[in-house]
């Protein structure tokens, strides 16, 4: 599939499906996931992507492969995100029902992302991803990792243990900008009385009203504080000990399962589509950059060839005709670089159009070139060293303009755009530093002329 059209297709594939009372939501989601998976395969198999670009973006392509495998397995990836010591790992373990993630008393226990299937929901394919804390001291690398994981997750559970700090609210806004659905889990809820907890939840819902749906702000207690228990035996003897209550994550677990059942495949497909869209943009930018670099080298090669040819040809006007032939050959090569090959005749017509616009814009410069050409003929070539460098430099400069204008035409898909050739060529002329180009050209041409005379 052509790389330029992939993102448009993906955007259409993940567009929300209209409600259809006769079609099950799961069937619609499966259909959308299948189509997104097909588009991901097309991106991975696109033969138009240069090997160098594919190598440079190898990690991103590997991530697309991982997303494709996830879609095919029907998994929904959930990132557990938040501040250090808010209880992210403990909350993940409580949801799983076993110790899948390490939990410690020191800040920064989680130093890399880990994931495990939710035991109770294996058949629904829920996968929890534990992430490092966002505010760990000297933990910039781990914070970047946390954002990376959250970006590729289908849904984010943001864990706090009280009112949100400015840093937490900023992080929540950043996550919301990645277009991931967000749940806010108030962990350590056992520390609050019933009325205090209700007030805090209401306050949190107000603070995140534009980021998280009210129903998705939930209380949890992953590791409730131990309670003092007094047991009395048959003889009336009292024994005091500490007992750890069971985790209270039922509301959060039920919400996650409900999302997975009704929206899981759709969220996974949307996430994969969004990521593939960003990768497509990156690939397109890299290809454009590579093409421009190759085109720049090609134009310089023809500039040198044309500048020297014009400088050395002692026959009036004939040097200008030879220069036009070089320009046409250059445009043919440029068209191949940009994947829009032109015939020699088409190239000649394009050069004629560009030259006509340049002549209208820069008649004085071309007049100087004609005078220099005539001067060479009258002096039987004796004044070549005086005039050749200047004339060759003008030929060099003209080739730069023609090459860049042809590039503009090819990048536009063999089109000058709405403004037309006149405006496009004028923009190219305005964008280039003529004096610096002429200085460089004169220096290079004189160097070649002196080496040939020597």
Q: What is the pLDDT of residue 11?
A: 40
- Cα–Cα distances (Å) from 129 to 78, 100, 250, 401, in that order, read 6, 10, 19, 54
Alpha-carbon distance 205 to 213, whole Å?
8
- Give per-residue pLDDT as tens, 24-60: 555 555 666 777 788 888 888 888 787 878 888 888 8
pTM summary value: 0.58
Residue 29 CA to chain centroid, in angstroms? 26
Q: Which residues contact 89 (CB under 8 A, 6 or more apart)?
A: 80, 101, 102, 103, 109, 110, 130
Q: What is the pLDDT of residue 64?
A: 83
CB-based contacts of 132: which residues, under 8 Å, 6+ apart?
A: 108, 110, 111, 112, 113, 139, 142, 143, 145, 146
- The pLDDT score that the predictor gives to residue 386 is 53
Q: What is the pLDDT of residue 322?
A: 56
**Count of CB atoms within 10 A of residue 322's CB?**
16
* DSSP helix/strand/coil, 243: strand
Counting Cα atoms < 13 Å in the Cβ hemisphere of 109 gives 13
DSSP H helices in 249-362: 250-312, 318-337, 344-361
Question: Which stretches of the chain drop beneath a pLDDT of 50?
Answer: 1-23, 105-108, 120, 123, 137, 316-318, 370, 373-375, 377-382
pLDDT at residue 385 in the model = 55
DSSP string, 337-398: HTT----HHHHHHHHHHHHHHHHHH-HHHHHHHHHHHHHHHHTTTTTHHHHHHHHHHHHHHH
Residues with Cβ < 8 Å from 153, sequence gap 6 or more? 77, 78, 79, 129, 180, 271
Burial class (CB in 10 A: 0-12, 13-18, 19+), 298: middle
């Amino acid at each position: 599939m052509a790389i330029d059209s992939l993102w448009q297709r993906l955007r259409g594939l993940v567009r929300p499906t209209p409600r259809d009372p006769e079609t099950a939501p799961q069937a619609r989601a499966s259909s959308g996931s299948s189509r997104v998976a097909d588009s991901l395969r097309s991106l991975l198999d696109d033969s138009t992507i240069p090997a160098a670009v594919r190598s440079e973006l190898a990690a991103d392509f590997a991530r697309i492969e991982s997303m494709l495998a996830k879609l095919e397995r029907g998994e929904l990836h959930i990132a557990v995100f938040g501040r250090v010591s808010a209880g992210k790992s403990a909350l993940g373990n409580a949801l799983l029902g076993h110790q899948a993630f390490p939990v410690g008393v020191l800040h920064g226990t989680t130093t890399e992302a880990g994931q495990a299937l939710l035991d109770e929901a294996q058949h629904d394919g829920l996968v929890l991803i534990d992430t490092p804390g966002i505010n760990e001291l000297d933990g910039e690398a781990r914070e970047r990792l946390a954002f990376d994981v959250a970006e590729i997750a289908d849904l984010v559970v943001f864990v706090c243990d009280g009112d949100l700090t400015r840093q937490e609210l900023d992080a929540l806004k950043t996550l919301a900008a990645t277009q991931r659905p967000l749940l806010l889990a108030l962990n350590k809820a056992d520390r609050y009385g019933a009325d205090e907890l209700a007030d805090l939840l209401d306050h949190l819902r107000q603070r995140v009203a534009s980021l998280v749906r009210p129903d998705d702000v939930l209380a949890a207690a992953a590791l409730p504080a131990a309670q003092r228990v007094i047991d009395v035996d048959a003889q009336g003897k009292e024994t005091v000990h500490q007992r750890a209550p069971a985790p209270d994550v039922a509301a959060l677990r039920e919400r996650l399962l409900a999302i997975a059942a009704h929206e899981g495949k759709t969220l996974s497909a949307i996430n994969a589509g969004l990521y593939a869209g960003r990768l497509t943009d990156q690939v397109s930018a890299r290809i454009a950059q590579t093409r421009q670099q190759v085109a720049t080298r090609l134009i310089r090669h023809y500039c040198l060839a044309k500048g020297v040819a014009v400088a050395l040809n002692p026959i009036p006007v004939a040097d200008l005709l030879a220069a036009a032939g070089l320009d046409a050959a250059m445009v043919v090569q440029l068209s191949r670089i940009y994947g829009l090959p032109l015939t020699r005749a088409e190239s000649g017509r394009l050069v004629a159009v560009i030259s006509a616009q340049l002549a209208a814009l820069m008649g004085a410069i071309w007049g100087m070139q004609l005078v220099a050409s005539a001067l060479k003929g009258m002096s039987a070539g004796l004044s070549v060293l005086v005039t050749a460098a200047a004339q060759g430099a003008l030929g060099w400069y003209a080739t730069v303009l023609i090459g860049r204008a042809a590039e503009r035409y090819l990048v536009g898909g063999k089109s000058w755009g709405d403004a037309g050739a006149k405006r496009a060529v004028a923009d190219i002329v305005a964008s280039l530093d003529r004096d610096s180009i002429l200085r460089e050209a004169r220096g290079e041409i004189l160097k070649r002329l002196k080496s040939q005379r020597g």
